[in-house]
A = this chain, B = another copy of it.
Amino acid sequence: MAITLKDLARTLNLSVSTVNAALYNRKDISSATRKRVQDMARAINYHPNLVARSLKTRKTYVLGVIVPDLSRSFFAEVTKGIDMVASAQGYNLVLCNTGEDPSREEDQIATLISKRVDGLILASAHHPESAVAPKSLSLSGIPLVLVDRFFPGTNFVGADDVKIGYLATKHLIEQGYRRVAHLRGPNVSTAQGRLDGYLKALRESGIEMRKEYILEAQFHDESGGYKAAKKVLNISPRPEAVFAASDPIAIGALEALLESGCRVPEDVGVIGVGSHRYGRYLRIPLSTVDQNRIEIGKRAASLLLGLIENGTNRKKPRLILLDPKLIARESSRCRAEARESGGESLGASAPLRTVSRDE
C-alpha cells in the first residue's frame, strides 16, 4: 500500500496541510520543518498520488497523442519532438497507436477524454469529415492540435506540402529533366498539397502537365512505388524524372527503375520526401525534401500547451506551416553542374560525421 500524505504527517507529528505546504516549498513554512518534511518524505519513499491531485485540481499534466503507426519514422520523430517540449513543461504523453484503424481512433479519443488529458494531438486524423470525434472533443473542451493532415477549422501544424512539391519538382526541372512524373500519395491533404506544388512548378516552367504522369501509391509502402514506377516506364514519351511523394515510394521506384536497366540519375532522376535517415546510403543516394519532423512535433506541443495554459478561448484556429528544405543527392543530379542547393557534397565521398544525429 502506497504511503499517503497523512502517513507522512503522522510520522512527523504534523498536520497534512503543513506537510503539504512544506513539500510545495511554500515560504510560509519554517525552513527547518520544510527540510524535516522533505527529508522524511525521501526517507520513507513518499510519492504524492497524482491521481488524487488531478481529481482535485482538474489537471492531469498528460497530453494525448494519437498516431497511425509508430513504426513509421515520421510519427516516431514527431512524437519525439512533442515529448521534448511537453516533458520540459512537466507534461507526460499517453500514446495511442491506431494501426490505421479509424474505429480505434474514435475509441482512443473517448478513452483520452475520460482520462481527462489536458490536451490532444492527433496525427493523420482519419475521415475527419464524419468528425464525430472532434465533436465530442470540443464538447469536452479539450484543446486539440492536428498534425500532418490538415482539416479546416482546427489548429494545425505541419510541413508546407505545396512548397514541398514545388521545391522537389522545381529542382528536377532545374537539373534539366523536363518530363517529370509524380507518384502521389492517397487522397489526403498531404498528398494533395504536394501535387499542387508539383503542378505549380510545372506551370511556372511552362511545362504541360500530363494526367498519365500522375500515379498513386501509399506513403509508407515501397511496393506501391515499385509498381507505379514500373508503369511509368511504359508511358510514352517516357518521363525523365520522378517526384515521389515520400521516401518509401521513391525507394520502391528506385528499385524498379534500376531493375529495369534504367540508370539513375542519367536516364531517370528521382526525388522523394521525408529525409529518411538512410536515404544517403541507398544504392543511389536519394534526393529528398526534409519536412523538419522534430520541429513539427515541437511546434505542435508548444501550440497545444499555449492553448492549455491560456485557456481555450482562442478566437481562431492557428495554422502553422513549417518550411521544407531541399536535400539534393545523386539520384537527381542530371548533367547540370552541382548547384548550391542545401544538400551535401557528392555521394559516398561526403564526410560521414555530418550524419550523426545528436540534436
Contact = CB atoms under 8 A, between A and B. Distances in A.
Interface of A: 2, 45, 47-52, 54-55, 60, 62, 65, 69-71, 73, 76-77, 79-80, 83-84, 87, 92-97, 99, 104, 110-111, 113-116, 136, 139-141, 220-223, 226, 251-252, 254-256, 258-259, 276, 278, 281-283, 294, 348-349, 352-353, 355-357
Contacts of A51: 51, 54-55, 60, 115-116
Contact of A111 (B92, B97, B221): B92
Contacts of A45: 136, 139-140
A123 to B, nearest CB: 14
Given A70-B83, A281-B282, 14 more contacts: A45-B139, A49-B114, A49-B116, A50-B116, A51-B115, A70-B70, A70-B77, A71-B73, A83-B96, A93-B94, A221-B356, A223-B352, A255-B352, A281-B283
Top 10 A-B pairs, shortest CB-CB distance:
A76-B76, A226-B352, A95-B95, A50-B114, A83-B97, A47-B113, A70-B80, A47-B114, A223-B356, A45-B139
Given A92-B96, A353-B223, A76 B83 contact: no
B55 A52 contact: yes
Nearest to A276: B278
Contacts of A283: 281-283, 348
A355 B223 contact: yes
A352 B222 contact: yes
B70 A76 contact: yes
A242 B226 CA distance: 31
What number of copies of this chain does the assembly contain? Answer: 2
A76 B83 CA distance: 14
Given A48-B114, A355-B222, A71 B77 contact: yes
A353 B222 CA distance: 8
A115 B222 contact: no
A95 B97 contact: no
A79 B80 CA distance: 13
Contacts of A114: 47-50
B83 A259 contact: no
Contacts of A254: 281
A259 B116 contact: no
Contact of A348 (B96, B258, B357): B258
A97 B76 contact: no
Nearest to A135: B45
A115 B92 contact: yes
A83 B71 contact: no
Contacts of A355: 222-223
Contacts of A54: 51
A71 B294 CA distance: 10
A130 to B, nearest CB: 16
A89 to B, nearest CB: 13
Contacts of A222: 281, 352, 355-356
Nearest to A286: B281
A44 to B, nearest CB: 9
